[in-house]
Amino acid sequence: MNLFLLSAGCCTEGVTVVVVKSKQKVVAITGTSEFLGGLLLRALINEDWCERILALDEYPPTHHAKVIYHPIQLEHMESEKELHRFLDMHGCTTFIHAASPQHPMRNLERLHEILSVGSMYLLNLVAKTHVKHLILASTTEVYGATSTNPNMLTETSPRHASRGNPFLHDKIDVEKQFEYFGEHHHDVTISILRMCTILGQTSRTWMTRFLRQRLIPTVAGYDPLVQFVHENDVIRAFLHLIQHPHQGAFNIVGDGVMPLSRAIAMADKTAVPVPSPLFYITADMLWQASVSPVPSASIDYLKYGCVADGGKARRELKFEPVYNSEEALMTFLDAHREEE
């Protein structure tokens, strides 16, 4: 168990919380009611080295002895004055920011409040704590999908996705906020995990909704390469990183790639080629009407490849995916065929 010593002095309103370290981890997670945060919460419950999980979300998780809940709303973080005290009083050692939507939102103002503004307030509060490891859940989509992309994108590749894509513009802004935080807090390890499309039994992203349509619109004349990572492999990467902190960004991807047409064929769905100009014109209209899961800002990913290299994660994190891209896709398809 962690031991907490309280002494007068400085820090939080005249009281300093001194944490005597133990080998066990106390992990805070934002977004525990969402897909990725929920998976992490359930995985950490089963890890003996994790003493407590601090669940930070608008909605409480299922009760468990290891889980302590604190309500937050990222779009209203300016009113959250007790979070830093909550984190220190429970001895938080690692903070995972997973409360980022896994897909574009129709309300762009609220999206910006949740992503960019919420993360800014969150980092300001975490700066007052004794947290020594910050982990951000991000996406390889920040690299953008362009005709000039190299065959494999590395962690040093430019993040071009912000052009005309509000969702990814804010995602990139959050990454930059974490990087800036690390530059000014050298005692804190900053880790950014960029996942490609996550697939599995419970995954929910714009691509999973896209692949579940009976008729799948594609861009006529284009067949980009796509890659997937299994949700279990993603959780394995997080668990390793929590135990063995590493500084920097890491691509978390499954082995292998496939043409989008093959993924559609494996899903036993029908591709409907749409001329590129018409696709862009109609996409936002259908998106706002909730008819299509793909806004016009995401169409580039149906035209050009955005394939990331996972070599750095292999070398530094010793991350070896158990499932390749095709196996991750099959797991997802098998899980949802019974529902169709």
Which 3-state string (H, E, C) describes 304-315? Answer: CCCCECCHHHHH
* 205 neighbors 228 (Cβ within 8 angstroms): no
Specify the higher pLDDT residue, 264 or 16.
Answer: 264
Is residue 290, in this structure, part of any structural domain at all? no
* 293 neighbors 209 (Cβ within 8 angstroms): yes
Look over the chain and give the mean of its residue pLDDT values, rounded to a whole number: 88
How large is the average pLDDT for residues 234-255? 98
pLDDT digits (tens, 9 = 90+) for 284-306: 787 776 667 777 778 899 999 99
* 1 neighbors 22 (Cβ within 8 angstroms): yes
Residue 4: is its pLDDT beyond 80?
A: no
CATH, residue 114: 3.40.50.720
pLDDT at 213: 87
Residue 150: is its pLDDT beyond 80?
A: yes
pLDDT at 16: 47
Distance CA 300, CA 302 (A): 5
Confidence of residue 101 (pLDDT cuts 50, 70, 90): low
Residue closest to 238 by CA, chosen among 76, 98, 48, 106? 98
Distance CA 101, CA 6 (A): 38
Is residue 222, in this structure, part of any structural domain at all? no
pLDDT at 327: 97
Q: Could you write out the DSSP letters of every residue in 90-136?
A: TT--EEEE--S-SS--S-HHHHHIIIIIHHHHHHHHHTTS---EEEE
User: Residues 88, 90, 92, 98: what is their CA dihedral angle, to the nearest 10 degrees?
Assistant: -110
Residue 240: is its pLDDT beyond 80?
A: yes
pLDDT digits (tens, 9 = 90+) for 12-53: 444 444 444 456 899 999 999 999 999 999 999 999 999 999
pLDDT at 17: 46
Angle at 320 between CA 314 and CA 324, to 5 degrees: 120
pLDDT at 338: 63
Residue 310: is its pLDDT beyond 50?
A: yes
Where do the DSSP E strands lie in 203-314?
A: 215-219, 225-226, 228-230, 248-252, 258-259, 270-274
Is residue 100, in this structure, part of any structural domain at all? yes
Residue 107: is its pLDDT beyond 80?
A: no
pLDDT at 114: 81
H/E stretch holding 51 reads strand 50-57
Is residue 251, in this structure, part of any structural domain at all? yes
User: Residues 96, 100, 101, 106: what is their CA dihedral angle, to the nearest 10 degrees?
Assistant: 170
pLDDT at 286: 76
Is residue 165, in this structure, part of any structural domain at all? yes
Distance CA 52, CA 24 (A): 9
User: Residues 255, 39, 331, 201: what is their CA dihedral angle, to the nearest 10 degrees?
Assistant: -160
How large is the average pLDDT for residues 212-227? 94
Type of residue found at 172:
I
Is residue 336, in this structure, part of any structural domain at all? no
Give me the domain span that covers residue 171: 3-203+229-255+309-326
pLDDT at 339: 63
pLDDT at 138: 96
Which residues fall within 8 angstroms of residue 234, CB to CB, at 6 or more apart? Answer: 36, 39, 193, 195, 198, 252
Residue 148: is its pLDDT beyond 70?
A: yes
pLDDT at 203: 82
Structure tokens at 95: 């903070």
Is residue 139, in this structure, part of any structural domain at all? yes
Is residue 283, in this structure, part of any structural domain at all? no
How large is the average pLDDT for residues 324-331? 96
Phi, psi of 338 (to 5 degrees): -70, -25
* 143 neighbors 160 (Cβ within 8 angstroms): yes
Q: Based on the structure, what is the number of domains in the chain? A: 1
Residue 1: is its pLDDT beyond 80?
A: no
Specify the higher pLDDT residue, 229 or 281.
Answer: 229
Three-class DSSP category at 290? coil
